[in-house]
Amino acid sequence: MVPSQKGVISYVKDEQAGALYFTLASDTPNSGTVTLFVSDEQNPAATCKLILVPRPIAGEEIIIKPPAESRTSAAGRKGGDGRALAYQRHAKDMILQMADEESRDLEPIPVNQEIPLWKEARLVMLSKYLDGDLVGEKYRLTNVSDTDMLLMEQELYRKGVVAVVIENHTLPSKGQTLIFIVRGRKDNE
């Protein structure tokens, strides 16, 4: 389990019940979202992304079932050699490396270039990361409008993009968020 915002959420693992109990920090605002990546201990490649929206309710139960064993074994019988799974794992590892500055193995290439996007937003590419056949890009998006902005990963996909992660999906006026994009490496990079 990897929270996208450190210090915002904590959890307790109940081995007997096979459950995780999450608690938001007391100073977490009631607006916005908290993003988690939850991985299965038996199958680390089976990762779910949860976007939690804090609400003033007593509790809520979310049940995540791992992918069916039959689907995995059926893919293996069709001659799959795991290359697609390794590619996905590589992209996910790049995002985790870009997000965690303390345990980063990849060296960032500073860019600090403003990218025109929408009139309501200011997008700055902060840095770039090269690793094999993938390129990671780290951006900071600022809401320059007077209203809240709701962001979705689909808005940032383009040809060649493998993965998009947005730290905060709801941005208040003048709010900022980090965005991580992993794409295929071009011939000239």
* Domains of the chain by start residue, with CATH: 1-80 (no CATH), 82-189 (2.60.40)
Question: Which tokens is 21 given?
Answer: 């109990």
Element (H, E) at 184: strand 176-184
Beta-carbon contacts of residue 47 (< 8 Å; ≥ 6 apart): 37, 38, 39, 40, 92
Start-to-end C-alpha separation, the chain: 33
pLDDT tens per residue across all 189 residues of the chain: 444 455 667 778 888 877 777 777 666 555 566 777 777 666 666 677 777 766 666 676 777 766 665 444 444 444 455 667 777 888 888 888 888 777 667 788 899 999 988 889 999 999 998 888 889 999 999 999 999 988 888 888 888 898 899 998 888 999 999 999 999 888 777
Task: Please name which of 93, 116, 112 lies closest in space to residue 103, comparing C-alpha atoms.
Answer: 93
Residue 105: alpha-carbon gap to chain centroid? 18
DSSP 18-67: TEEEEEE-TT--SSS-EEEEEE-SS-TT-EEEEEE---SSS------PPP
Element (H, E) at 127: strand 121-131
Tokens 């450190």, residue located: 6
SS3 83: helix
